[in-house]
């Protein structure tokens, strides 16, 4: 029986992965520090799989992480432990780099300098490292990847991406894995560095490594009280508490939402040798407008609450980015099975029994104080 270590395995995505690995008869070890921003009471969540071994530990603790990997003769590692949140990362710079980059440094240093049995490493990377996605100008008949929109453009409430050659409004198109990674936040940079470090060390020391660039993941077990979690959970917390979801710009910006169930299937598929030393997008491949996300959640809750489009912008926000998933579809036969509305219904059903403290306004106040809104 192979032994799998899941760092961050008590979290939203990690816990579902643990469930699937247990089903597939792996011996699973969860390594998690139960960060209070995610786990409000600092205790193990009730949903945690009882057939998996739990170790309370931080990836910044080199000695403890080393002991877990070596003493348990770990064969496979899913490195999902990370500090999450784009806006927050812009002022908690040291914290994000210490956890995301420092913790990954510890893991890789252990694999390189201590005899071990690890034969596969999977790292959770992020679509945020792309910055803006890809675009097409129908007038110039050219594809391009823009930088951030200028302050001058945003202050005029001109939200869409403009072709730099002809000033025509460009059309967003799927973003593939060869797209440049242009980071606009400390979080995005930390995830890119995680990915790069793992791929470099994996190739150098013949440790089969796969990086998965997650797009916007949603589903049960998301922290409904964490204002830095996914937008679907943030909107859900607002609507559940009879507050309007706050939407920046005009609400027509798009993102790619993938159900945690679909994402976990992709995580299992990459254990195939065909995925060794590869990088894959993991998304639905379908763009959804942010204002539509809010409307769908309100509809599922049967509440007449419209999103509030405040017409303001946040520094570093992108306009459009959705995944080209043709690579993982072709090489590993992956295709998403859960459409967004059905996935949201499942999330709402789970959330009905969960407490949701609306912390949005507190988080927004912090962003304003730091000059990010």
Domains of the chain: 3-133+175-369 (3.40.50.720), 134-174 (no CATH)
Which among 107, 113, 77 has a CA at the least distance from the CA of 2?
Answer: 77
Give the model's pLDDT for residue 38.
79
Query: Is-contact 99 194, C-beta < 8 A?
Result: no
Query: Is-contact 302 239, C-beta < 8 A?
Result: no
Give the pLDDT mean for 203-213: 98
pLDDT (tens digit, 9 = 90+) per residue, 65-122?
A: 999 999 999 999 999 999 988 888 899 999 999 999 999 999 999 999 999 999 999 9
Q: Where are the beta strands (DSSP E) in 8-63?
A: 27-32, 53-56
Give the pLDDT mean for 288-313: 93
Which among 198, 192, 186 has a CA at the least distance from the CA of 127?
Answer: 192
Higher pLDDT, 370 or 268: 268
pLDDT band of residue 42 (cuts 50, 70, 90) is confident
pLDDT (tens digit, 9 = 90+) per residue, 249-298?
A: 999 999 999 999 999 999 999 999 999 999 999 999 999 999 999 999 99
Q: What is the pTM of this model?
A: 0.93
- Other C-beta atoms lying within 10 Å of the C-beta of residue 142: 14
Give the model's pLDDT for residue 59.
98
Give the model's pLDDT for residue 363.
47
Name, of 162-166, 224-228, 232-236, 345-349, the range with top average pLDDT. Answer: 162-166
Q: Where are the beta strands (DSSP E) in 70-208?
A: 76-79, 120-126, 134-137, 142-144, 171-173
Give start and end residues of each alpha helix (H) in 126-230: 151-155, 186-204
pLDDT band of residue 240 (cuts 50, 70, 90) is confident
Give the pLDDT mean for 6-35: 97
Q: How far apart are CA 308 and CA 328, in angstroms?
A: 37
pLDDT (tens digit, 9 = 90+) per residue, 150-160?
A: 999 999 999 99
Give the model's pLDDT for residue 369.
57
Mean pLDDT estimate for the chain: 92
Query: Is-contact 191 82, C-beta < 8 A?
Result: yes
Give the model's pLDDT for residue 127.
97
């Amino acid at each position: 029986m192979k032994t799998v270590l899941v760092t961050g395995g008590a979290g939203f995505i990690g816990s579902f992965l643990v469930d699937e690995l247990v089903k597939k008869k792996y011996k699973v070890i969860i390594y998690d520090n139960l960060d209070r921003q995610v786990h409000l009471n600092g205790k193990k969540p009730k949903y945690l799989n009882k057939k998996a071994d739990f170790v309370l530990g931080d990836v910044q603790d080199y000695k403890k992480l080393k002991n877990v990997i070596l003493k348990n003769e770990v064969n496979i590692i899913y490195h999902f432990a990370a500090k999450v949140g784009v806006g927050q990362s812009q002022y908690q710079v040291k914290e994000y780099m210490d956890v995301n980059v420092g913790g990954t440094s510890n893991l890789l240093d252990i694999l390189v300098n201590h005899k071990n049995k690890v034969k596969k490493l999977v790292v959770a990377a992020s679509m945020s490292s792309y910055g803006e996605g890809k675009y097409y100008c129908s007038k110039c008949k050219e594809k391009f990847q823009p930088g951030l929109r200028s302050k001058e453009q945003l202050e005029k409430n001109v939200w869409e991406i403009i072709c730099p050659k002809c000033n025509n409004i460009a059309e967003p198109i799927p973003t593939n894995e060869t797209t440049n990674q242009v980071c606009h936040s400390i979080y995005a940079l930390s995830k890119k560095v995680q990915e790069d470090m793992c791929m470099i060390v994996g190739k150098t020391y013949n440790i089969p490594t796969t990086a998965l660039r997650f797009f916007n993941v949603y589903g049960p077990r998301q922290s409904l009280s964490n204002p830095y979690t996914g937008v679907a959970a943030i909107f859900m917390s607002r609507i559940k508490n009879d507050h309007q979801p706050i939407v920046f710009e005009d609400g027509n910006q798009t993102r790619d939402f993938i159900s945690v169930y679909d994402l976990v299937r992709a995580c299992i598929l990459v254990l195939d040798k065909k995925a060794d030393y590869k990088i894959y997008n993991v998304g639905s491949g379908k763009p959804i407008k942010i204002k539509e996300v809010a409307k769908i959640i309100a509809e599922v809750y049967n509440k007449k609450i419209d999103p509030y489009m405040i017409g303001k912008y946040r520094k570093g926000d992108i306009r459009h980015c959705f995944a080209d998933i043709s690579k993982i579809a072709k090489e590993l036969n992956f295709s998403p099975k859960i459409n967004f509305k059905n996935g949201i219904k499942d999330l709402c059903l789970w959330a009905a029994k969960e407490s949701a403290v609306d912390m949005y306004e507190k988080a927004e106040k912090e962003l304003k104080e730091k000059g990010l809104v």
